[in-house]
């Protein structure tokens, strides 16, 4: 049985990757941050009783700021594969927390690479490493972007990820480690964090539909993105680590839409006129924006045999149907006089 260790297992991608690997018969270990409230919502459905002898999912406390613990967990688990998905992943937040973002997304990657190098060298057992790179690294480089496009990062988040990208390449070249960078374009899902554009829109539009909310405040409607579904993208991560040679790959749908088009489609799905509800709020603008991302994933298609199965309309259908259900539950509670508090973070 293969063993995998995932940082960021509680995030959107971590949850889908865990499902994929468990389905393939892996034993899956994840690093979780200690929090004062439960932060395992996205993987709770995969929880197994610790007394179950058949258990194949294990959680370990740790943090990408803490190299010592990363090494201890790695030594204990001795995985064949490590997926480094943990990050402060919000671009706008990175302008407010640049140092923290650099520490976790940049140096955090170095910390786990060092642990991998050390454990592999001392045990002689290969540990394959996946780094969660991002299309944000292309930043100001015009589309379409491929593996050969230059990085021109436009945020502290993107700059930290560029550092992590090159450290991952360096550990491959300097120490012969099997390390891969996935350069993934935006991917969303029913589990997407509620402060990212797509989920913010599907949550708000479905609440508007059920009379729970009237307005939606958004920032730049002209930005363009290449949006896929996370379920498809975690498969590409796994495929990278199954190849004979380590390499870097762009993962994208190749289709680009503006934020305005996304909003129109979601409201249209619900028979709503978006212009009656959406207000542009300059608070949501970023100091420097990435105007247009559209990936050329030819290499992943040819070498990995990967291609996305879920297009934008299906992505929207899944997200809206999921969020309609949540809004309906909220509507029922409200109708019975229960006040439902919306979280402040949803306004970020
Ligand atoms: P996400 O939902 O924000 O999940 C991030 C994960 O990282 C969470 O499990 C989070 O834990 C964990 N984390 C945050 N700070 C940490 C720290 N200091 N130490 C250890 N873990 C920490 O992000 P995602 O959408 O799944 O993305 C996964 C990875 O892919 C990220 O590295 C992201 O930057 C990258 N990426 C994402 C996309 C995309 O469109 N989704 C595209 C390209 C690249 P908590 O649950 O405790 O917060
Ligand atoms: N979050 C957010 N909130 N974005 C908004 C809003 C708003 O109210 N209004 C407009 N936007 C625009 C942003 O300015 C950006 O151009 C676009 O919508 C998408 O924003 P996000 O969904 O926050 O994603 P992102 O593209 O900045 O970053 C995501 O994708 C990257 C891959 O390209 C994150 O998942 C990153 O972690 C990931 O690396």
pLDDT computed for residue 148 by the predictor: 98
DSSP for 141-183, please give it: SPSSB-TTSPP---SHHHHHHHHHHHHHHHHHHHH---EEEEE
Whose Cα sits closest to atom 30 in ligand 2?
A: 186
**Does residue 126 have an active-site annotation?**
no
Beta partners for 179? 129
- Given a cut of 50, the residues of the chain with pLDDT beneath it are none
* Ligand 2 mutation pick, 215, 225, 229, max ligand atoms within 8 A of CB: 225
**Does residue 218 line the site of ligand 2, with CB under 6 A?**
yes
**Does residue 216 line the site of ligand 2, with CB under 6 A?**
no
pLDDT computed for residue 303 by the predictor: 98
H helix runs in the chain, sequence order: 12-23, 67-77, 91-96, 98-101, 108-123, 156-175, 197-209, 230-240, 259-269, 298-299, 312-335
Ligand number nearest to the C-alpha of 90: 2
pLDDT computed for residue 287 by the predictor: 98
Cα 242–251–168 angle (5° rounding)? 60
Ligand number nearest to the C-alpha of 101: 1
* Ligand 1 mutation pick, 9, 11, 29, max ligand atoms within 8 A of CB: 11
The tokens describing 55, both together, are 């258990």
Predicted TM-score (pTM) of the model is: 0.97
pLDDT computed for residue 50 by the predictor: 87
DSSP for 98-148, please give it: HHHHIIIIIIHHHHHHHHHHHHHHHH----EEEEEEEGGGTTTSPSSB-TT
Active-site entry in 27, 81, 136, 188: 136
Phi-psi region of 271 (alpha: psi -120 to 50; beta: other; left: phi over 0): left
Active-site entry in 157, 171, 249, 269: 157
CB under 6 Å to ligand 1: residues?
7-8, 10-14, 33, 35, 39, 63-65, 85-89, 104, 132, 134, 184, 186-187, 193
Whose Cα sits closest to atom 16 in ligand 2?
A: 223
Q: Domains of the chain (ranges plus CATH)? A: 3-192+228-255+293-309 (3.40.50.720)
Which helix H or strand E contains 279, and what residues bound it? strand 278-280
pLDDT computed for residue 346 by the predictor: 55
pLDDT computed for residue 338 by the predictor: 77
pLDDT computed for residue 322 by the predictor: 98
Using one digit for the tens of pLDDT, what is the confidence trace for 274-323? 999 999 999 999 999 999 999 999 999 999 999 999 999 999 999 999 99
Task: Quote the ligand 1 centre to 132 CA distance (angstroms).
Answer: 9
**Does residue 130 have an active-site annotation?**
no
**Does residue 157 have an active-site annotation?**
yes
Active-site entry in 134, 198, 202, 206: 134
């Amino acid at each position: 049985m293969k063993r995998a260790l995932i940082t960021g297992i509680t995030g959107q991608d971590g949850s889908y990757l865990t499902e994929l690997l468990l389905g393939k018969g892996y034993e899956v270990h994840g690093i979780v941050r200690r929090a004062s409230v439960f932060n395992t919502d996205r993987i709770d459905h995969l929880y197994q009783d610790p007394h179950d002898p058949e258990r194949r999912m294990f959680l370990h406390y740790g943090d990408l700021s803490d190299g010592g613990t990363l090494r201890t967990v790695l030594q204990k688990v001795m995985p064949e594969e490590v997926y480094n998905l943990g990050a402060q992943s919000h671009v706008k937040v990175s302008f407010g927390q640049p140092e923290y973002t650099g520490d976790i997304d940049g140096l955090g990657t170095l910390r786990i690479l060092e642990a991998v190098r050390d454990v592999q060298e001392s045990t002689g057992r290969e540990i394959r490493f996946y780094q969660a790179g991002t299309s944000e690294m292309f930043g100001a480089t015009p589309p379409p972007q491929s593996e050969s496009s230059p990085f021109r990062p436009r945020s502290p988040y993107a700059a930290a990820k560029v550092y992590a990208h090159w450290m991952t390449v360096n550990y491959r070249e300097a120490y012969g480690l099997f390390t891969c960078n996935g350069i993934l374009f935006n991917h969303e899902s029913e589990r997407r964090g509620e402060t990212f554009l797509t989920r913010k829109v599907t949550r708000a539009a479905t609440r508007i539909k059920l009379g729970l909310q009237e307005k939606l405040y958004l920032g730049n409607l002209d930005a363009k993105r290449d949006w896929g579904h996370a379920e498809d993208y975690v498969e590409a991560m796994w495929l990278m680590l199954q190849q004979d040679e380590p390499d870097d790959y762009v993962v994208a749908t190749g289709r680009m839409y503006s934020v305005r088009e996304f909003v129109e489609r979601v409201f249209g799905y619900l028979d709503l006129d978006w212009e009656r509800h959406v207000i542009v709020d300059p608070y949501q603008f970023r100091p420097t924006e990435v105007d247009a991302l559209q990936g050329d994933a030819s290499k992943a298609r040819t070498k990995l045999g990967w291609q996305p199965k879920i297009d934008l309309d299906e992505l929207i259908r899944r997200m809206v149907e999921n969020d309609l259900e949540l809004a309906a539950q909220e509507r029922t509670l409200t109708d019975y006089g229960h006040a439902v508090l919306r979280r402040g973070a949803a306004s970020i």
